[in-house]
Amino acid sequence: MDAIEEENEGPMRLTECAHDILSSVIQPGDIVIDATAGNGVDTQFLAEQVGPDGRVFAFDIQQDAIDQTALRLMNADLANVTLFCVSHSEMFEYIPPEYHGFVKAIMFNLGYLPKGDKRLITQPATSIAALEQAVQLLAPGAMLTILLYPGHFGGDAEAAAVEEWCQELDDEEFQLDSVMVDDPVAPRLYILRKLDV
């Protein structure tokens, strides 16, 4: 088991940390987004948080991931999720316009599908395009989390691109926090909060 599988299938240290942080802002009835559905762990968490009156929009480019997520949601009796087998770099177009500026939380858990094809990874260009759109969808006070895995092939370049993008955010508009250990290949979590300005 390597870093992405450990995080998502194992003890889920930073994944749980992201869940804990997001549960402080998500309310029943909210609109939220999972930008990387994968096996549906984060989508299920979000669906439970927003409850039957809320809605989760979840994206993944792999039909296997969408199917795994749909199965997980069905087993958990959760019907408040819309799944898109589409790149998150198209999210602005797929999220209904009435929710633009009202999304309370967005999760990015980058890398490859745990137990899937490890060659199919998130890419810097599409991840940055998606992040650019995601911040426009957020409500004031909303949060966005990005879980990065610099340890797999391609993950280091993506982590560098995303970290540079984070550093360039306007600090009058966004508060940026991170959770990481002093190890260049360890997973790391970035947390953005859209300030209520």
Ligand X SMILES: C[S@@+](CC[C@H](N)C(=O)[O-])C[C@H]1O[C@@H](n2cnc3c(N)ncnc32)[C@H](O)[C@@H]1O
- Residues near ligand X (CB under 6 A) are 4, 8, 36-42, 59-62, 65, 87-89, 109, 111-113, 120, 122, 126
Nearest distance from residue 180's CB to ligand X, in Å? Answer: 17
If the CB atoms of residues 71 and 195 are measured against ligand X, the closer one turns out to be 71
If the CB atoms of residues 65 and 138 are measured against ligand X, the closer one turns out to be 65
Q: Which strands make up the sheet holding 31-34, listed edge to edge? A: 81-84, 55-59, 31-34, 103-109, 138-148, 188-194, 174-179
Nearest distance from residue 91's CB to ligand X, in Å? Answer: 9
Q: Could you say which DSSP state residue 96 is in?
A: -
Cβ-in-10-Å burial (0-12, 13-18, 19+) of 125 comes to exposed
CA 140 to CA 126: how far, in whole Å?
24
Residue, CB closest to ligand X: 38
Nearest distance from residue 145's CB to ligand X, in Å? Answer: 11
If the CB atoms of residues 74 and 195 are measured against ligand X, the closer one turns out to be 74
Alpha helix ranges (H) inside 58-182: 63-75, 91-94, 124-137, 155-167
Nearest distance from residue 117's CB to ligand X, in Å? Answer: 8
If the CB atoms of residues 111 and 150 are measured against ligand X, the closer one turns out to be 111
CA 30 to CA 51: how far, in whole Å?
8
